[in-house]
Amino acid sequence: MDSENLVSMQDVSLKFGDRVILDSINIEIPRGKVTTIMGPSGTGKTTALRLIGGQIRPQAGTIMVDGLSVTKLKRKELYELRKRMGMMFQSGALFTDLSVFENVAFPLREHTELSESMIRDIVVMKLHAVGLRGARDLLPSELSGGMARRVALARAIALDPMMILYDEPFTGQDPITVGVIMELIRKLNDSLGLTSIVVSHDVAEVSKISDKLYIISNGKVIESGSPTELQESSSEWVQQFLHGRPDGPAKFHYPANDYAEDLISHAK
């Protein structure tokens, strides 16, 4: 068992039909750190998270999580492993028919035999950690997007997992909410001794809170390292991505035939 890396993906390839999503990628997630997987939209970042959670299986390669091979686990063992993982989905994915309190209590009721008063105390503590102790009686429909994600985070840490997976935690949020979620990711990681994996393309935000970054594009790992190492990367593509330049190795134009010819042929 590799004690330094909690998650290790080796030569993982995944195809949907003819479309290559991940092409023999290697990702190592160090224990106790915040690691971010970045990349343009639609490059298989979220897919990488789903592979770690065992929701989909790769065609090739191995994925080890805490010494267990996710791809080879039986369903029951996989569910046992998932109890030690929390995941925050992009939309929050709260159960819309349950209150905030019941949402956070859900994993506790499902997986523990704790008494009602014990569950209440744990839920209150988890909600307090994300600053929403006062919102416990609200329904998900009454929450703002940022609050919903914080409740989802409280739910993800309800069972005191060893690791949290964040799927696009900042997308579509206002600057204050982004700041709050950034703070929470870093603080929870350090105070609870977690390992965090963040999937995001918000370069500035994740650079501040991450210990290690991976940039993937077209199913391959383009670059990896600490935020400062990436800033000094010699790759033109990485520089374009990090600084958000509209044109560069990644083209502005969708592949097309010659522009002049396109116009002339229409005139005929």
Partner 1 sequence: MQNKLTSPIQSVGRKTIGSIQRLGRGGLFLFSTLVAFPGLIKEFSLVLKQIYSVGVLSMQIIIVSGLTVGMVLGLQGYNTLVDFGAEESLGQMVALSLVREMGPVLTALLFAGRAGSALTAEIGLMKVTEQLPAMQMMAVDPYKKVIAPRFVAGLIAMPLLAAMFSAVGIIGGYIVGVGLLGVDGGAFWSQMTSKVDLYDDILNGVIKSIVFGWVAVWIAVYEGYDAVPTTEGVSRATTRTVVNTAFAVLGLDFILTALMFGGV
Site residues (vs partner 1, CB under 8 A): 50, 53, 55, 79-80, 82-83, 85, 87, 89-91, 93-96, 106-107, 110-111, 152, 155
Task: In angstroms, give the least distance from the CB of 153 to partner 1.
Answer: 12
Taking the least distance from each CB to partner 1, the nearer of 46 and 235 is: 46
Taking the least distance from each CB to partner 1, the nearer of 195 and 224 is: 195
Report d(CA 188, CA 228) in Å as an integer.
23
- Residue 7: closest CA among 258, 194, 249, 266: 194
Coil vs helix vs strand at 110: helix
Report d(CA 72, CA 82) in Å as an integer.
14
Task: In angstroms, give the least distance from the CB of 47 to partner 1.
Answer: 12
Report d(CA 50, CA 53) in Å as an integer.
5
Q: Give CA separation, 80 vs 42, 84, 196, 255, in Å.
A: 30, 7, 19, 46
Taking the least distance from each CB to partner 1, the nearer of 2 and 110 is: 110
Taking the least distance from each CB to partner 1, the nearer of 16 and 79 is: 79
Task: In angstroms, give the least distance from the CB of 212 to partner 1.
Answer: 23
Distance of CA 12 to the CA centre of its chain: 18
Tell me the angle at which helices 116-129 and 100-111 cross, rounded to the nearest 10 degrees.
Answer: 130
Task: In angstroms, give the least distance from the CB of 89 to partner 1.
Answer: 4
Task: In angstroms, give the least distance from the CB of 190 to partner 1.
Answer: 23
Which contiguous run of DSSP H or E holds residue 196? strand 195-199
Taking the least distance from each CB to partner 1, the nearer of 61 and 107 is: 107
